[in-house]
A and B are shown apart, each in its own frame.
Chain A
Amino acid sequence: MIWEIEILPRLRDPERERVLTEYGLLAGPQRRDRDLAEFALTARGFLVEGIFPLESAQRLLDALLLDPLAEWGRVGELNALQSFEHPSGVTALAFATVLLKPGVMDPVAESVELAARDLGIDLFSVRTFRRYYAAQPMPAPVRDLLFRKILANEAIEQAIEGPLLLDHLTLGSEYTFQLVTVPIRNLDDDALLTLSRSGQLSLNRAEMRAIQEHYRKMDRDPTDVELETLAQTWSEHCSHKTLKGHIEFNGRLIRNLLKETIFGATQEIRSRLGPNDWCVSVFEDNAGVVRFDDNYHVCFKVETHNHPSAIEPYGGANTGLGGVIRDPLGTGLGAKPICNTDVFCFAPPDTPSDALPPGVLHPRKVMTGVVSGVRDYGNRMGIPTINGAVCFDPRYIGNPLVYCGTVGLIPVQRAQKAAQPGDLIVAVGGRTGRDGIHGATFSSIELSHESESVSGGAVQIGNAITEKKLLDVIVQARDRGLYSAITDCGAGGFSSAIGEMGEKVGAEVHLERAPLKYQGLSYTEIWISEAQERMILAVPPRKWDMLRLLCQSEDVEATALGTFEPTGKLRLFYKDKQVAEIDMEFLHEGRPQVVRKATWRAEANPLPHGLGSDNVVRADQFSAVLHAILSSPNVCSKEWIIRQYDHEVQGGSVVKPLVGAANDGPSDAAVVLPVLGSWRGIAVGCGINPHYGDLDPYHMAALAIDEAVRNVVAVGADPKRIALLDNFCWGNTERPEVLGSLVRAAEACRDVALAYMMPFISGKDSLNNEFRTPGRTIAIPPTLLISALGIVPDVRRCVTMDLKEAGNAFFLVGETKNELGGSHYELVTGQAGGDVPNVNTALAPRLFAKLHEAIERGLVRSCHDLSEGGLATALAEMAFAGNIGVDVTSLGVGPSDVVLLFSESPTRFVLEVRPDHIEELSNLFDGLPCRRLGQTVKEARLRIAGANGEWLIWTPLAELKESWQKTLRW
């Protein structure tokens, strides 16, 4: 018997509001108001299946599901609830019901099943739905737009008009074992490639040939699961074959780009530091590990989840964060996640709907979904999201970028792991379903306008509570020493996790033992499923009982799937029949070296920008330019996002993402205490600016590093204890000029890391971020995110960016040059040209060191780094954040006022200093560029005088703040 339970809002109706907003985005507000005038309300509901009477369903509603003060509820037979008598007298008719597609994770349904058992109601199955009511039938065109674009996301949901045709809710059917082999030994190249494509293997000709050769030697054909395992392990996503492969760059051979640049720099730094080397494990585990104090290390990993987020923003971002949280958890013997970061790149949220290529979601919908997805996972996990950034550029229209990072804390004696021969292979956490099959290979290929429909199987929803339970038991099991190695199931599922963990030993896995969400999965599907919230442990047999009982005691499923057998082989079985036997060596080392061509040619530098140019901005327009920069989407307040994230859970918050007199100014970086009871902290910041990359990716990378470092140094991190992470998101690197730009960026990472003596400890690349439409291909701008993790020796010395008191002096530290290329000044005034800012690698480390000393000595009342929008923007932000006025009376001399106000030269800071500290600070910076600009005043205004004494800018702080806040006040 299936009962329907429906719940309708008595207060706000957020789902109705969502539909109205999205309709307005696609059809405009006028059509929305006309077309949806009869759209009355929405309901959420449950289909419950079981052998029990209506009274039990009613009890489920009354005792559990309904809040009678906020909602109306009703129960009926299937399809009996199609009209609703609203107390206002309106009779509303259901015009659509939206259900998750079968097999898509439905956390709410799982919780209801559990809670119903608490009430003694024996359910078979629950499915949730949403229902939409209107006072009048919807006209066909309105209905069409709602069904195609708004009510449901086809990747995971279906919208149904009229009655639901269901006779049961339980999923799955019996699976009959049949071993599948794939004859490849006699295929020619074309047939090999066809096989690669049709099987979604994403392997190239050389790789298919190598596999063919291998099986010819063994005198047999591969099984389907062997081929899938190879494809999975050799995918760009898992092996990073481009950046680790051979690259012919402008005629020079690079044998392994990462080794020669980023890893190489780290090795060099470690050896130069000698006994002061503070790296523990870099580029080898799931996250990079560095020392924190005598008892703990910290680790950090940042991942991307771009392609899934393009198709299903909520689920993509949700599982993106869920996935990166498992990285620290799977690092060493398990690190406890202590904070998250998130950085997004979207097309402008005001993109008109007719500018959307086919198959693309509106960027505002993408942004809203992504933010909700991150929010719901991070908040539920109890991990504060403390730092981030959002960049906007039209080229992200089909390919938004979603970077999520997690920092973890790990006891020093738990930092190393190794699976031992004889250890049991134990899967813990969520069950296995058909979720995300082909995620790893899918994220290595371009998206197209067909992706919305064909790639749905690779998109998932997460269940944060399953992962939280997993985290709770893993930390306990770690501290009790119940396992010898751990890793997460990410892309490639069991295949990647067990394949990697058993690389040096060998593994034997019995696939039928894996707990399944529903029946009917083939052995291959079990092996490559990317169902979320699963980890693999290597458990010594004598510890297995203790681990099992621990997991059981907190309702976490743990299953021994097999053993790490010292055979050097990966052997898979289904009900005692062998379905795969692969040499670990061939699996991990057999992939032919990728050879790619890369070129880079410096563009002839356009005319220097600034003085003499025809469209130079007049002095009386500087205020308008400043307002335009402040309200530009990259610079404007992200408070709407930040406040949806719990950034204080775990109780370690020291410097919050929003600071100042009204707690709403833009903090440079966040600081948290990883260990309550100690004053030692970490600062987390980031740097990203794709606009510079259009001019020169080398300088873009250098500037991103400088920005990330500036941010953490500005709040009090020790420049001798800053670790960096790189995340490259690039277009199609099979095009030589695209790969060439990546080589340039990687070289800058090496050069700047060495100059700053700050090691890269982890990184990730996501290539092929391009969107194909019938007419054209839209490639994203090369986008490098640099994340910085700095140690703060004593958080009680931390500094925030808001001005503190009137009557203080403020100083500009650093050199200002005519570097307006890629600047926000150009962006908002519609100009181009000029030099991209260059990092002065000789000067910058000295400035960081002195600034840190000044902060440590307590000389700095507030500090803000200069980034997008230059000096004028930084001063405006400091002033309105502190609600303290600014008088700049000594701007200095430079090529032009425009340069002094808006140039984005790197390694610059504004410092607020009390009168009694001015001398000491000046002495400290003796011989370095450090100029006193003026003083803080109690009048709430920003005034900046030019070289000849005229006021270039004179604006009330309230107006500046309003410009900064209005853009994303959603």
Chain B
Amino acid sequence: MLKPRVLILRAPGANCDAETQFAFEQAGALAERVHINRLRENPGLLHQYQVLVIPGGFTYGDDVAAGKILANQLSVFLGEQLRIFRDKEKLILGICNGFQAILKAGLIMPPDEDGPLATLAHNAHGRFEDRWITLEAAPGKCPFLAGYDRFDVPIAHGEGNFICREAWILKGLEQAGQIVLRYVESEARSAEGGARSAESGAPDSCAPRSALCAPPSTTLPFPINPNGSQGDVAGVCDATGRVLGLMPHPERHVLPTHHPQWTRRGLAEEGQGLRLFRNAVAYFL
């Protein structure tokens, strides 16, 4: 059987490309890291691959807004080719900065006449945060997540706060089965006595003129929901299920030694993120 070919897109400031390649190789794919300039020169190159991955990082420094300049390039230079790619039953995966880029490029949900439906804004507590969290999957038709329920992966981002323009948009995404990953309480935590009260929210320095400080809208408290995302959303797929964007890093949980508790619980067979990459490979076999 031919190994599926994976294109991991490099752009200035992308920096999770090597470990994403490793994860796909562990999963049995033939993964290559390709600079965006090669695709700009020859957009048709894309069609030699079955999976397109926009990896994590800080493309163009996240200047302007996270992933925004790359999103703009994806739309301006590759928009048409990306649509063809998706419509050919191929897979697109955006991790962290890649999620920010494909969301802002309209690849997950195209904008309507009033503009974009959703965005990834600054974390509610205002800082970059590296932290392990627990996800609950509702795989539906998203092939990447087949067989997943709860699993642990780390986040590492400053702008992962998923916000929809209107409440009906979030509801619509839920009903369409596009909210495929949510932050949930870990089993260890719930055993410890449940969610503690939220520590974050608006800081006390917001005291004067608090009318101008909008309170973050969130369901579960920090740090279960680490960034304040509406509906605890961690990952979203497009209407076909074949385009997935997620803030957490599954490629950082492919080895058993990645898990922060491995010295307590013992070594697992493999990391819980590996299945996501194996699913992508299996989709083409």
Contact = CB atoms under 8 A, between A and B. Distances in A.
B219 interface: no
Contacts of B116: 68-69
Interface in B61-85: 61-65, 68-69, 72-73, 76-77
Contacts, number: 212
5 contacts: A33-B208, A38-B209, A379-B58, A465-B61, A645-B130
B19 to A, nearest CB: 3
B150 interface: no
Interface stretch (B175-183, B238-246, B254-262): B254-262
Contact of B124 (A12, A380, A883): A12
Given A67-B119, A656-B260, A651 B15 contact: no
Contacts of B57: 382
B209 A40 contact: yes
Contacts of A114: 60, 69
Contacts of A37: 208-209
B115 A648 contact: no
A643 interface: yes
Contacts of B126: 12, 14, 17
Interface of B: 10, 12-13, 15-16, 18-19, 22-23, 35, 37-38, 56-58, 60-65, 68-69, 72-73, 76-77, 115-116, 118-119, 121-122, 124, 126-132, 154, 156, 163-165, 188-189, 192, 202-203, 205-209, 211-214, 216, 249, 251-252, 254-255, 257-258, 260-261, 263-264, 267
A40 B211 CA distance: 9
Given A86-B212, A118-B72, A648-B130, A24 B205 contact: yes
B115 A68 contact: yes
Contacts of B61: 107-108, 111, 380, 463-465
Contacts of A110: 63
A796 B257 contact: yes
A729 B212 CA distance: 46
Query: Which 4 pairs, one residue from A and one from B, show the smallest C-beta to C-beta distance?
Result: A382-B15, A651-B19, A111-B63, A70-B121
A644 B129 contact: yes
A69 B69 contact: no
B260 A659 contact: yes
Interface string A792-815: 000110111010100000000000
A456 B205 CA distance: 31
B270 to A, nearest CB: 13
A304 B10 CA distance: 32
B263 A798 contact: yes
Given A379-B128, A643-B129, A654-B257, A12 B58 contact: no
B16 A382 contact: yes
Interface in A290-317: none
Contacts of A647: 130
Interface string A494-535: 000000000000000000000000000000000000000000
Nearest to B69: A115
Main secondary structure of the interface of B (DSSP, over half): mixed
A60 to B, nearest CB: 10
Given A37-B208, A70-B163, A380-B58, A659 B64 contact: no
Given A107-B63, A651-B252, A553 B37 contact: yes
Contact of A12 (B156, B189, B208, B214): B214
B264 A804 contact: yes
Contact of A69 (B12, B35, B165, B207): B165
A636 interface: no
Interface in A267-294: none
Nearest to A12: B126
Given A13-B212, A118-B77, 4 more contacts: A12-B213, A553-B38, A644-B127, A646-B128
A112 interface: yes
B69 to A, nearest CB: 5
B208 A20 contact: yes
B176 to A, nearest CB: 20
Nearest to A798: B263
Nearest to A553: B37
Given A12-B213, A381-B15, A67 B65 contact: yes
Contacts of A108: 61, 63-64
Nearest to A62: B115
B156 A646 contact: yes
Interface in A105-133: 107-108, 110-112, 114-115, 118-119
A375 B130 CA distance: 11
Given A70-B163, A112-B63, A800-B263, A21 B12 contact: no
B227 to A, nearest CB: 12
A663 interface: yes
Interface string A656-675: 10110111000000000100
Contacts of B16: 382, 649-651
Contact of A469 (B12, B131, B203, B267): B12
Nearest to B211: A88
A33 B208 CA distance: 6
Contacts of B202: 12
Contacts of B249: 648
A91 to B, nearest CB: 12
Contact of A20 (B58, B127, B128, B205): B205
Nearest to B205: A20
A654 to B, nearest CB: 5
Contacts of B68: 64, 67, 115
A253 interface: no
A69 B119 contact: yes
A472 interface: yes
A111 B64 contact: yes
Contacts of B10: 472
Nearest to A804: B264
Contact of A650 (B18, B72, B212, B260): B18
Nearest to B257: A654
A547 interface: no
A82 interface: no
A14 B125 CA distance: 9
Contacts of A643: 127-131
Contacts of A468: 12-13, 15
A662 B189 CA distance: 8
B39 to A, nearest CB: 12
Contacts of B72: 63-64, 115, 118-119
A649 B37 contact: no
B122 A11 contact: yes
Contacts of B19: 649-652, 676
B89 to A, nearest CB: 29
A88 B212 CA distance: 7
Contacts of B260: 656, 658-659, 663
Nearest to A8: B212
A64 B203 CA distance: 30
